[in-house]
Structure 1
Amino acid sequence: MNKNISNEPQPTLPLTSAHDGFFQAITDDIFCFTDKIVNVYFIGDPKKSSEWFLVDCGISRSSDHILSILTEKFGDAYPPKMIVLTHGHFDHVGAAYELAKHWSVNLFCHELELPYLSGEKDYAKPDPSVEGGMIAKLSGAFPYKSIDLTPFVKVLPSDGTIDGFTEWQWVHTPGHSPGQIALYRESDRALLSADAIITVKQDSLYDVLTQSEHLQGPPRYFTTDWEEAKQSAERLKHLNPNFIAPGHGLPMFGTEFKDSLEVLIKDFDRVSIPDYGKYTNDKKLLK
């Protein structure tokens, strides 16, 4: 297997959006930062102490981008207690090694995602033949090889907890990747959905560039198990979240979010599952 060296950046792709560099305070302790086409989250208050954590690490060579916005918004910020990786696709772990090394902190993931983050196993190749827009057609060029984040990468506790952050729980949401997780907080019903549910049609170049809001299932070209993807979306709806902070697209709140989520789950086969593609299951199996 062609194993990537742990400190070797993956290829940089010419991907961006209208919200590159956008920073938003969702609550007083959840902050969203858009790195090109993907979101990273600061959970906690970096100005007060190290009792905060980073969720995901953007695309390759984005560590300076993330560190600069941290300084701009929080001043002389404390380093986080940890980094939580929702999954290991290239656009979520691009700066993981550099940031873990910079802060001397561990990266945590689901145990089923560990082989892809320790150089042991490659992801399935993205599917450029899948139904979708221009980005889907270009996805054959996207990185899919395993990366090696040892010695920083560790497995999350199996009971759904996050060490040191008792309000938060992780929820297994496979389909887009075997060990993808979402994060949920019961006190305000905050949901960080990773790529299980997103708010932009990620296969459409126009929608990605403009960040047009549409509640969607996971990106089509990288999703290999649509039955699990549908079950994961249903699992998240059952949490009855108040708002969504997705891996791609802007956060969504209130009645718009609630109504859109109802429609998404009801019409998941039609809205999210492609009519054709290498990894498309028979929709009859999902009804």
Structure 2
Amino acid sequence: MTSNHASRASTPAFMAVAPGLHVLRDVFVNLYYAAADPAQPAGDWVLVDAGLAGSAEKIRRHAAEAFGPTPPVAILLTHGHFDHAGGLAGLLETWPDVPVYAHPLELPYLTGRSAYPPADPTVGGGLMAWSSFLYPRQPYDFGARVQPLPTDHTVPGLPGWRWLPTPGHTPGHVSFFRNADKVLVAGDAFTTVVGESALATLTQKQQVHGPPAYFTPDWDAARRSVAALLALAPEVAATGHGIAMHGEALRQQLADLATHFNAEARPKIGRYAHEPAVADASGVRSVPPPLVNPWLKALAVAGAVVGLVALLRKKQG
């Protein structure tokens, strides 16, 4: 799947992507500010995901630009990976009364009970993937501050939206959908950039792509989640990584991904390619063994970088 969109490295980090919905790109991950009423953008609002550690002040600053000093009525998490929940502790210090919501199956990773399955740096074929064994995966512990999303699939603070379970990338991953204009906040159920590649992440070239492979431990569930989101026929897809996509180009590329998911997104070989991690309400129960020691992989990458630098110096000399 290719895109005719040019590189978007110059796209503003904070911008509107749909009526009442703003995105903030936090280094390489996106988080979203959603107005309860798109016709009254200065009214109540909700934060979707919380970015990287150390980002709380930046998140608050942009919130003040869009909504004034009023804190959000809720913080929603698509999932609890380090790049989606890293800034949450800092935000809760300033917003002590704001509730946080996530899927019940995501709560073990947000209340200190379980670490996520290990990353698989052998899949994805890019620097972001090769480095993934270094990424934090230990649980946060926000205690009672985190509550399960409502069982009727309504979204706290966002009338007209509903949440959908979209597991695969994590056991309790969810997406959010506004029925009126078919706006989808998809988290990492799929992305609009080749997130395993540092170059693609830098240039932000648009392309509907599968969930970040190195942190996806259940590929059958991930495939079903993509199919479920395609069935919504979204007009806008605001994803955890990459620039939001719109209209027919979005739907066509999403359909291609759903149709060819196992060929284009699912790794042929990898720790979870043919056997998922198993998790339940208490957290991770079992994981398949690694195929390659990640430290050996890191040494191979380091050797390749050193060799490339030496070759470039030789040519310059």
TM-score, normalised with respect to structure 2: 0.79
Q: Is the 8 A contact 1:139 1:221 kept in 2?
A: yes
Cα gap change, 1:34/1:20 in structure 2, threshold over 3 Å: closer, same or farther? farther
State which of 236, 241, 245 in structure 2 corresponds to 1:243. Answer: 236
1:24 matched to 2:24:
no
The CA distance in 2 between the partners of 1:230 and 1:166, in whole Å, is 29
CA contact (8 A) 1:63 1:95 kept: yes
1:177-188 matches, within 5 Å, as: 177-188=170-181
**What is the match of residue 94 of structure 2?**
102
Kept in 1, the 8 Å contact 2:52–2:87? The answer is yes
Distance across 2 between alignment mates of 1:212 and 1:106: 35
For 1:38-117, list aligned pairs within 5 A.
38-44=29-35, 48-49=42-43, 51-71=44-64, 73-74=65-66, 76-104=68-96, 105-117=98-110
Cα displacement (A) at 1:100: 2.3
Aligned runs of 1:207-226 on 2, under 5 Å? 207-226=200-219
Residue 150 (structure 1) shift: 1.8
Q: Secondary structure of 2:147's match?
A: strand
Shift of the alpha carbon at 1:19?
6.2
Aligned amino acid, residue 218 of structure 2: D
Please list, as runs of the form range in 1=range in 2, the aligned pairs for 1:98-137 lying within 5 A after superposition.
Answer: 98-104=90-96, 105-137=98-130
Structure with greater helix share of residues: 2
Structure-1-length-normalised TM-score? 0.87
Please say if 1:253 is aligned against 2:253.
Answer: no
1:154 aligned partner: 147
C-alpha contact (below 8 Å) 2:74/2:157 kept by paired residues: no
Q: 1:184, 1:190 within 8 Å by CA — same for their partners in 2?
A: yes
Query: 1:174–1:232: 8 Å Cα contact kept in structure 2?
Result: yes
Q: CA deviation at 1:240?
A: 1.3
Instruction: Say what the alpha-carbon RMSD is for the aligned residues.
Output: 1.8
Deviation, structure 1 residue 131: 4.0
Aligned residues: 264
Q: Percent identity?
A: 37
TM alignment of 1:138-217, pairs within 5 A: 138-217=131-210
Deviation at 1:20, TM superposition (A): 8.7
**Preserved CA contact (<8 Å) 2:18 2:183:** no
Task: Assess if the C-alpha contact under 8 Å between 1:19 and 1:36 holds in 2.
Answer: no
What CA distance in whole angstroms lies between the structure 2 residues aligned with 1:99 and 1:225?
31
Which of 216, 219, 224 is residue 231 of structure 1 equivalent to?
224
Residues of 2 paired with 1:74 and 1:262: CA distance?
34
Q: Secondary structure at the residue paired with 1:92? A: helix
SS in 1 for 2:15: strand
Structure 1 unaligned segments of length 5 or more: list them. Answer: 1-16, 283-287
